[in-house]
Structure 1
Amino acid sequence: MFTVEVYLAVRRAHFDEGRSKRSIARDFGLARGTVDKMCAYSVPPGYRRSQEVRRPKLEAFTDTIDQWLQDDQSRPKKQRHTVKRIFERLRDEEGFTGGYTTVKDYVRGHRQKSREMFIPLAHPPGHGQADFGEAVVILGGVKQKIHFFAFDLPYSDACYVRAYHAATTEAWMDGHVHAFEFFGGVPLSVVYDNDSCLVAKIEAGGRRRRTQMFTEMLSHYLFDDRYGRPGKGNDKGNVEGLVGWSRRNLMVPLPEFPDLESFNAWLEEQCRARQSAILHGHRETIGDRLERDLAAMSPLPAAPYQACHKATGRVSSQSLVRYRTNDYSVPSTYGLRDVTIRAFVDVVEIGCGGEVIARHPRCYEREQMVFDPVHYFALLETKPGAFDQAAPLAGWEMPTELQTLRRLMEARHARQGRREFIQVLRLLESFDLPVLCAAVRIALQKRAIAFDAIKHLVLCQVERRPARLDLSLYPYLPQAAVQTTKASSYMALLSEGAI
C-alpha cells in the first residue's frame, strides 16, 4: 500500500500540473490502475471487498457449526469448542475436506457478530448495589476462606465491606444493617443479582418472588429492590468492580487478625479512609460526592432490623435442640419442651415462653454438638456418677481452683462430696465463673471446704460486703463441742462391752 505522500505527489501532477495519467504512471513507475485510484481518492482507501466471500466447501457445514456454538453457551467456559476442535470434528465426523483457515475465518466472524454490546449507564445520587465475594484470610492463626459483603454507591463510589463465615441469608441482611448504619441513611434502591438468599423464584415475566427474611428487611427499611439479568454481572458492574478491588487491595497480602470482629473493624476503617481519595475522571473526593448521595437517601428507622432466621424446635431427652444439622444445648429443666430459635450470623438464641434460655456461638460446620456445661449441672446433681463421662464437660477446661476443691471434697465425703461439688458448680447458673473462682480461692485459704461457705463468699463478693465465716460472730447458733480423741475412751467402751 502506498503512503499518503505518494498520493499527494500523483494528485498534484495530475490536477495542478495537468499531466496525463499515462506520463504520471511512466515517471512514477506505477500501474495505470493505481494512478486512476490515486486520482479518485485523496488518501489510501484500504482494502475493499467487492463482493461477499464465498466458501463453497464450508457452506454445507455452516448450520452444524452454528449449532455447536449455540450449544456451547449453556456449557462451562473451559469446556467449549475451540476452532481447532471444530475443524477436527468437521473433518472426522462430517467429512469436511476444506482447510483450517476457512473454518477459522467463519468462526471468528460468527463470534464477532454474537458479541454483546453495552449501553453506558448514568447513576443518580442515592442508589446502591450489593453483592458477595470470597477471599482467603488468616484468623486466629488458621488460614480459611471467608465471604465478604460488598455495598457500593455508584454515584459517589463510596463503599462498605464486611466479612462473614458464610454467605447466608442472615449475612446478607446483617450486611445491609451495618452498611446503612455506616452511611447513616437508606438508599432509594439497591441492585442485586438473583442470589437464592434473596430470590426464592423467578416467575414468568421476570417477576421475583422474594425470600421471607428479605421481604421483612425491605418492609423495615422501605427501599426498592432491583435485579440484574441472570448471569449478567455487568448489570451491577460497580459493585462487581468493588468486589475485585477489595480482594486485590484489602486482602493482599493475606490479612491476619485474631478474629473476625477485629478484621471487620479494620475493613470499616479502610472504607472510611478511602473516602478521601480522588478517583480517575473526577475532581472531587469520594467523600464530597457522598454528601450528595446522603442528601438523596432516606433516614434510618428508629431501630435497626434484627437480622436473624426464626425457627421452632423441640428439646430432646439429652437437652439438645437441632438447628441446621447442629445440636445446641439448653438447661435440662426445659427437656422435651417446644422452643423458638433465632439464628444470627454469630449467635444462636433459644427461647421458651418469651424467655431466652440459651445463647451459643453459631457453628457453621455440620453434625456438631455445641454444649454449655452449665446446662447439665442440675441433672448431674441427681446423677453424680455420670460426671466423669459427661460429654458436655469433655471439652471444658476446669479452672485449677475448682479441680482442687473437687479433690478435697471427694477425699472427705466420697460420693456425697462429689454431689456437694456439683452444687458448687450450679452457682454458675447465677454467677460468672471468675466470681466463683475467686470465692473458691478464699475458701481454700480459710479451709472452709463446704458449699454453704462458698455460696456465702460468692454473695459477699457480689454484694461487696465482708465475709463472716467465724462462728463466734453468730452466738444464736448452737455450739458444737468437739474433743480430742483419747485411747482411754476406747478402753472404756471395750470394758462396757465386756460387761
Structure 2
Amino acid sequence: MMNLIAKQELEHDRLQTARQWLREAFVLLSHPPGHAQVDFGQCIGFIGGVRTVMHVFCIDLPHSDAPFVKAYPAETTEAFLDGHVSAFAFFGGVPLSILYDNTKLAAARILGDGQRTRTRAFTELISHYLFRGRFGRLGKGNDKGKVEGLVKYTQRRFMTPLPHAASFDALNAALEARCLARQDEHSGRHEETIGERLLRDLAALRVLPAGPFEPCEKKPARVSSTALVRYRMNDYSVPAHLCLPGRIGQRFRRSGAGRGRG
C-alpha cells in the first residue's frame, strides 16, 4: 500500500513539473521607435441625438504609447483606409511597420503555412505609403497588446460618459484633441511623458509621400439607362454621358462615395 502511495505521489510530482514546463511564459517587450499597432474597437455614443454603435479605429505607437483614434459608423474598407490616412497626417509621417490582427479588411486569406494573402485595398495602401504590414499569431491578442490596451483606454476614458456630438466630424475633432492632450501625460512606469518619448518615434517615421491616397473601396459597376450604378444595395447617380448609346451596361470603377437613392 505504501509503495502505491509513493508511486502516486511521484507521478503527481512529474505531472506538476510537466505543467510548469508547458506553461506559457511572458517577458516585457522593448519597442523600438517608429513602429505601430492597429485595431478597431466598438463604443456607444450619440450622434445627432441618436444612440449609435461606433467603430473606432485605433493606432498606437508602442515606443511612446502615443495614440490616435477616429470613430466611424461601420468597420468598412473605407474606414480602415481612412483611419490610416488620418493617423499618418496626425503624426506627420508613416510608421516603419504596422502590426494587425487577422482582420479580413487586410488579410483576404490565411494559407496553410500561416502566410496571409493581402486584400487589394490593403496592398494599395502599403504600396503607396511603403510601410511593412505584419500580422499577429492566430488567437494571440497579446501579440499586439499595446493597441488592445488603447482600445480599452478609449472605451473607459475617451468614450465614458457616453459622448454626444452633432456629427462624426465633431466627435472626431474632440477625439483628436483628447489624443493631443494624452501626450502631456505619463504611461506605465516611464518617467518621460508620452510626448517626450513621441519625439523619438517621430524621428524614425518615414516621410509622407508627395501624392495623396484616396481612402476608398474600388468596385466595378454597370451603368443603367437611367445613369445609376448599384453599390451595396444602393443606387448612385453618375454623369449622364456615361449612359449614352453604346455605353449602357459598360463597367466602371466606383469608389463607394456618392449620393445614394436606396
Q: List aligned pairs for 1:296-307, cutoff 5 A.
A: 296-307=204-215
Asked if residue 131 in structure 1 is aligned to residue 39 in structure 2, the reply is yes
Q: List aligned pairs for 1:334-413, cutoff 5 A.
A: 334-335=242-243, 336=248, 338=250, 339-343=252-256, 348=257, 359-360=258-259, 369-370=261-262
Provide the TM-score with structure 1 as the length reference. 0.47
Other structure's SS at 1:131 match: strand
Map of 1:286 onto structure 2: 194
Distance in 1 separating the partners of 2:106 and 2:241: 38
- Structure 1, residues 94-137: CA drift from partner, whole Å, max 9, x if none? xxxxxxxxxxxxxx999887653223221011111000111111
Q: List aligned pairs for 1:173-212, cutoff 5 A.
A: 173-212=81-120
- Structure 1, residues 203-260: CA drift from partner, whole Å, max 9, x if none? 2322211001111110111111111111111000000000000001111111000110
Distance in 2 separating the partners of 1:153 and 1:163: 18
Other structure's SS at 1:190 match: strand
Map of 1:374 onto structure 2: none
> Structure 1 residue 52: deviation in Å?
4.0
Other structure's SS at 2:95 match: coil
Distance in 1 separating the partners of 2:129 and 2:239: 37
Distance in 2 separating the partners of 1:282 and 1:209: 38
Letter in 1 for 2:225: S
How large is the Cα RMSD of the aligned pairs?
Answer: 2.6
Distance in 2 separating the partners of 1:243 and 1:199: 21
Distance in 2 separating the partners of 1:161 and 1:150: 5
> Structure 1 residue 138: deviation in Å?
0.4
Letter in 2 for 1:341: R
Letter in 1 for 2:124: E
Structure (1/2) with the larger helix percentage: 1
Map of 1:423 onto structure 2: none
Distance in 2 separating the partners of 1:109 and 1:317: 75
> Structure 1 residue 333: deviation in Å?
5.9
> Structure 1 residue 295: deviation in Å?
0.8
> Structure 1 residue 280: deviation in Å?
3.2
Asked if residue 144 in structure 1 is aligned to residue 144 in structure 2, the reply is no
Pick from 159, 163, 171 the counterpart of residue 79 of structure 2: 171
Q: List aligned pairs for 1:226-245, cutoff 5 A.
A: 226-245=134-153
Letter in 1 for 2:102: N
> Structure 1 residue 334: deviation in Å?
4.4
Distance in 2 separating the partners of 1:217 and 1:114: 40
Asked if residue 325 in structure 1 is aligned to residue 233 in structure 2, the reply is yes
> Structure 1 residue 269: deviation in Å?
0.4
Map of 1:27 onto structure 2: none
Distance in 1 separating the partners of 2:145 and 2:165: 30
Map of 1:272 onto structure 2: 180
Asked if residue 260 in structure 1 is aligned to residue 168 in structure 2, the reply is yes
- Structure 1, residues 172-231: CA drift from partner, whole Å, max 9, x if none? 111111101100111111111111110011223222110011111101111111111111
The 1:278/1:315 distance shift into structure 2, 3 A limit, reads same
Distance in 2 separating the partners of 1:248 and 1:280: 17
Asked if residue 53 in structure 1 is aligned to residue 5 in structure 2, the reply is no
Letter in 1 for 2:253: T
- Structure 1, residues 409-461: CA drift from partner, whole Å, max 9, x if none? xxxxxxxxxxxxxxxxxxxxxxxxxxxxxxxxxxxxxxxxxxxxxxxxxxxxx
> Structure 1 residue 149: deviation in Å?
0.4
Other structure's SS at 1:299 match: coil
Other structure's SS at 2:113 match: helix
Distance in 2 separating the partners of 1:279 and 1:119: 19
Alignment length (residue pairs)? 251
Structure 1 residue runs without a partner (length 5+): 1-48, 56-107, 349-358, 364-368, 371-499
Distance in 1 separating the partners of 2:219 and 2:211: 22
Q: Identity percentage over the alignment?
A: 51
The 1:113/1:221 distance shift into structure 2, 3 A limit, reads same
Pick from 151, 154, 158 the counterpart of residue 250 of structure 1: 158
> Structure 1 residue 279: deviation in Å?
2.0
- Structure 1, residues 68-104: CA drift from partner, whole Å, max 9, x if none? xxxxxxxxxxxxxxxxxxxxxxxxxxxxxxxxxxxxx
Provide the TM-score with structure 2 as the length reference. 0.87
> Structure 1 residue 171: deviation in Å?
1.1
> Structure 1 residue 342: deviation in Å?
1.2
> Structure 1 residue 331: deviation in Å?
5.4
Letter in 1 for 2:235: D
